[in-house]
């Protein structure tokens, strides 16, 4: 006996990846529905070795469906998630809409699985921001051992975080560099992304930080520990898939780099590749298609009393979005619904 599962936004980057991962991980599905907007109605999407046609999100009846994985953005989620939740279908939402609602759990299964039991207040569970998800997987086991005081993170975020339009813009601008008759002005990004980096993701806030940077601060506090101080600088880079982060961590207690390496090797969802030689680390291109969060360049920070530096890389379409949502679905099934 399996689950009746809905994927809303099934024709987008994350929605397609959700379908792929549900099939790859052999999630116990009895029936699956792929939903899309009217303009994408009838589009065929893959689910394992099957092909299914998308149905209309606007008219879909969520009654008797067990769970719905949403990848449709905040505006549409505001309309359809309450409908699904009211019909008894548990929503696992990938947008930012519900992440900061104190009555809705924000979950990374390797970090705070116990939070899943809070889903019943609104029948909704939030998926974190892609850059936060991979970072907290690395922070949690180290925090359990030596208590983190402060985190300074600089991100190197791929264009897929901005959806298909972002990937297309990088591709078209890169081609245009080599064609003197072509000009592809920025549309999705604020400046040209090809052969460039842009220290601006999401909107600017009053204190000078961007919304993406604020998200990393707020979400780390909600998922791991509200007492951790976090400061972030989020940067878009000309990479198609895979987010990278340079993370500096200050602890309450001393933590030796060798012990940190051992702790991370044993931690769920993490792969440590850390050789002090050319190529002995992971780059975003190498992590594409993988479920793991990769950690490299683990070393002491001698400028503070109890400090470590590390390099963190993950496929943002997987761990940062689709995989984490499917892992939440697995957790929900295992701990609460108990059908599969």
* Residue 169 half-sphere exposure toward CB, CA atoms < 13 A: 24
113 marked among binding-site residues: no
Distance CA 214, CA 28 (A): 36
180 marked among binding-site residues: yes
Catalytic choice (143, 234, 243, 287): 243
Residues 6+ away with beta carbon under 8 Å from 113? 107, 331, 335
* Radius of gyration, CA atoms only, the chain: 20
164 marked among binding-site residues: no
Distance CA 291, CA 316 (A): 10
Catalytic choice (89, 130, 287, 312): 130
Q: Determine whether 166 is exposed, middle or buried from the number of CB atoms within 10 Å of its CB (0-12, 13-18, 19+).
A: buried
Q: Determine whether 326 is exposed, middle or buried from the number of CB atoms within 10 Å of its CB (0-12, 13-18, 19+).
A: buried
Distance CA 172, CA 178 (A): 10
* Cβ pair 328, 320 in contact under 8 A: no
Dihedral over Cα of 106, 109, 110, 112: its sign: positive
Active-site residue flag, 243: yes
160 marked among binding-site residues: yes
14 marked among binding-site residues: yes
318 marked among binding-site residues: no
Active-site residue flag, 130: yes
265 marked among binding-site residues: no
Distances (CA, A) of 12 to 35, 72, 162, 211: 11, 8, 11, 23
Q: Which two tokens stand for residue 54?
A: 């998308």
13 marked among binding-site residues: yes
Binding residue positions for substrate: 157, 236
Which residues contribute to the annotated binding site for phosphate?
99
Binding-site residue ranges: 11-14, 39-40, 99, 157, 160-161, 180, 236, 316
- Binding residue numbers for NADP(+): 11-14, 39-40, 160-161, 180, 316
Q: State the catalytic residues.
A: 130, 243
């Amino acid at each position: 006996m399996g689950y009746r599962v809905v994927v809303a936004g099934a024709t987008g980057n994350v929605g397609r990846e959700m379908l792929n991962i549900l099939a790859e991980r052999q999630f116990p599905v009895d029936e699956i529905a792929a939903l899309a907007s009217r303009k994408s109605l009838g589009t065929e999407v893959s689910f394992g070795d099957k092909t299914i046609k998308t149905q209309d999100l606007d008219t879909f009846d969520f009654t008797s469906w067990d769970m719905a994985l949403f990848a449709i953005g905040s505006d549409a989620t505001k309309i359809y998630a309450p409908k699904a939740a009211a019909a008894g279908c548990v929503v696992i939402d990938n947008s930012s809409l519900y992440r900061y609602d104190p009555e809705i759990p924000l979950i990374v299964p390797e970090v705070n699985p116990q939070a899943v039991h809070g889903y019943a207040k609104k029948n909704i569970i939030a998926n974190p921001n892609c850059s936060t998800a991979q970072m907290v997987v690395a922070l949690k086991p180290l925090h359990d051992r030596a208590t983190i005081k402060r985190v300074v993170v600089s991100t190197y975020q791929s264009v897929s975080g901005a959806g298909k339009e972002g990937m297309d813009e990088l591709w078209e601008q890169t081609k245009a560099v080599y064609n003197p008759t072509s000009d592809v002005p920025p549309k999705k990004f604020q400046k040209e992304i090809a052969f460039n980096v842009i220290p601006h993701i999401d909107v600017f806030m009053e204190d000078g930080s961007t919304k993406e940077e604020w998200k990393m601060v707020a979400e780390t506090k909600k998922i791991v520990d509200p007492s951790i101080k976090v400061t972030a600088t989020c940067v878009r880079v000309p990479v198609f898939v895979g987010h990278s982060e340079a993370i500096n961590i200050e602890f309450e207690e001393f933590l030796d780099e060798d012990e940190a390496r051992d702790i991370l090797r044993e931690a769920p969802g993490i792969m440590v590749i850390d050789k002090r030689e050319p190529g002995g680390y992971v780059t975003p291109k190498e992590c594409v298609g993988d479920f793991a969060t990769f950690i490299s360049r683990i070393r002491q920070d001698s400028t503070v009393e109890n400090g470590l530096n590390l390099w963190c890389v993950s496929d943002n379409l997987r761990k940062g979005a689709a995989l984490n949502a499917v892992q939440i679905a697995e957790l929900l099934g295992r701990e609460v619904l108990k059908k599969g």
